[in-house]
Structure 1
Amino acid sequence: MAVTESSRARGVDRVIAIFRQLHLAQRPMTMRELIEATGAPRSSIYELVAILAEVGWLETAADGSVFFGREMHYYGSDYATRNDLISRAHQSILALVRKYDETTQLCMLEGNKYTVVLSENSARPFNISSDIGVRVPIPWTATGRLLLGHMSPEEIRALIPREDFMLDNGVLVDFDEFMRDVQLAKDQGYCCTEGLSNAFRLCMAAPVRDRGGLPIAALCFMTGRDTDPERRQAMLDDLLQSAKALSHR
């Protein structure tokens, strides 16, 4: 019996690994790529893909590549509809995009990383966005600075891997400077970063708080650093008001 339970557990772990690799890739993957990425036996991956395709969780293209199936879309839609914060945040984001025509997102921390949960893009040619669900190092973001204000420097140092302080442009973020940013974001009640991991990017983040007042998510604008100061202030004011409306009272 123990062998059967262990075998089932490995099967579940491999299904999770398949989904995670497809999500990270953000594209269909060949069976060979899935086998290499998951490290699972070839026979196991072929068997699991066949089962998951049969129930609609995965779909196999004519060239043999594999990606998420229609059933996964239904489950995601159910979650977005029934989760109160996600549902309300989506409406807030749509309203902000309609008003300012700027990319707007709902962002959260996931373990020791940052991720975009919802995103609606600007219709303008200049468009900055991140893929939903892709885990990004916390020091790369305004949201990361905003959502750590309740933690001590020791807790933050233990949370964030040292290598995550290296931005994708090769610049190293000093820990003490990062902590000053965290404290400033806590004091201001919002965070703005310019040129952090992209020389032309301006990010504004406003906190969505739980019943205890702790920030659990952030509404964010992603725009250009050349945005007019008056427009910046109007955007920030609306962002703060929308985030406050989403927070638990």
Structure 2
Amino acid sequence: MSPRSVVTARVLDVLGAFSEDSPELGLTEISRRTGLPLTTVHRIAGELTAGGALDRGDDGRFRIGLRLWEIAVLAPASTVLREQAMPFLEDLHEVTRENVALAVLDGAEVVYVERLSARDAVSIVSRSGSRLPVHATGVGLVLLAHAAPDVVEQVLSRPLRRFTEYTVCDPARVRAALGEARNCGFVISDRQIEDVSLSVAAPVRDRSGRVVAALSVVVRADGTNPHTYVPAVRAAARGISRALGAPS
């Protein structure tokens, strides 16, 4: 690895130390999470702070800076896809008055490009920019069902994290769910991330017919028939696909 590659990898390691559960970290915590020497972390964090990629509070702890958000919104998934999808997300949100989300695949995780929530809707862990494992989310199962075989094998060859007693962690059962997703054109993920919620998800396609994103509505698990949401979710996903130029 070239010296420049080493530096880049270390910078990404420092940024990757932050998470939704740990949005603020001290130098020692970053060092422990990354395995980098404290002096190296101190230097990199200082440079990132000077460039606006990190912010340092009065308590000396660091958090992700606004500059990274400004850069992130330039990504295609955050511009073209989001712009084309937003009218349909808003319509679905208005009709259901539930949480609505749009996500894309990144390795073994989904990244939430957009999320709309209602005041009285069930509380959920996802937000715009957050990540969750593909095997335990409705959008993730949709995306994995249409991913390349090597991506599927990569995901299922690793231990699958359990979030609730309902999380499907058996690779054979996940494969069955992927086949059903391809056949049915939607996924119902029941209480796999949180005991209180379930999601209904459908694929979004681009002009080549390739699945590039997934749309979902997240609702309360108790007393809900998820199949009543399937037509609206699929209609919104088809609308976004048409806006992206997908064939009928």
After TM superposition, is the score higher than 0.5?
Answer: yes
Equivalent position of 1:71 in the other structure: 67
From 46, 65, 79, the equivalent of 2:42 is 46
Give the structure with the higher percent helix: 1
Q: Structure 1 stretches of 5 or more lacking a match?
A: none
Equivalent position of 2:239 in the other structure: 242
Structure 1 CA distance for aligned equivalents of residues 9 and 148 of structure 2: 34
Give the direction of change, closer, same or farther, for the CA distance of 1:120–1:155 in structure 2 (3 Å limit): closer
Q: Which has the larger radius of gyration?
A: 1
Deviations along 1:43-83, whole A, 9 cap, x unmatched? 12111222221222211100000112232232234447973
Q: Tell me, yes or no, if the aligned pair for 2:108 and 2:155 is still in contact at 8 Å.
A: yes
Structure 2 CA distance for aligned equivalents of residues 81 and 193 of structure 1: 24
Q: Tell me, yes or no, if the aligned pair for 2:54 and 2:65 is still in contact at 8 Å.
A: yes
Equivalent position of 1:136 in the other structure: 132
TM-score by length of 1: 0.82
Structure 2 CA distance for aligned equivalents of residues 113 and 237 of structure 1: 22
- What is the alpha-carbon root mean square deviation over aligned residues? 2.9
Structure 1 CA distance for aligned equivalents of residues 82 and 151 of structure 2: 28
* Matching of residue 194 in structure 1 with residue 190 in structure 2: yes
Q: What percentage of residue pairs aligned between the two structures are identical?
A: 20
Q: Tell me, yes or no, if the aligned pair for 2:190 and 2:197 is still in contact at 8 Å.
A: yes
Q: Which amino acid aligns with 1:191?
A: V
Structure 2 CA distance for aligned equivalents of residues 212 and 219 of structure 1: 18
TM-score by length of 2: 0.83
Deviations along 1:7-39, whole A, 9 cap, x unmatched? x33222111111111245441111111111111
1:99 is displaced (CA, Å) by 3.2
Q: Tell me, yes or no, if the aligned pair for 1:208 and 1:246 is still in contact at 8 Å.
A: no
- Number of equivalenced pairs: 244
Q: Structure 2 stretches of 5 or more lacking a match?
A: none
Structure 1 CA distance for aligned equivalents of residues 41 and 239 of structure 2: 45
Give the direction of change, closer, same or farther, for the CA distance of 1:229–1:87 in structure 2 (3 Å limit): closer
Q: Tell me, yes or no, if the aligned pair for 1:218 and 1:243 is still in contact at 8 Å.
A: no
1:190 is displaced (CA, Å) by 1.5
* Secondary structure at 1:107 match in 2: strand
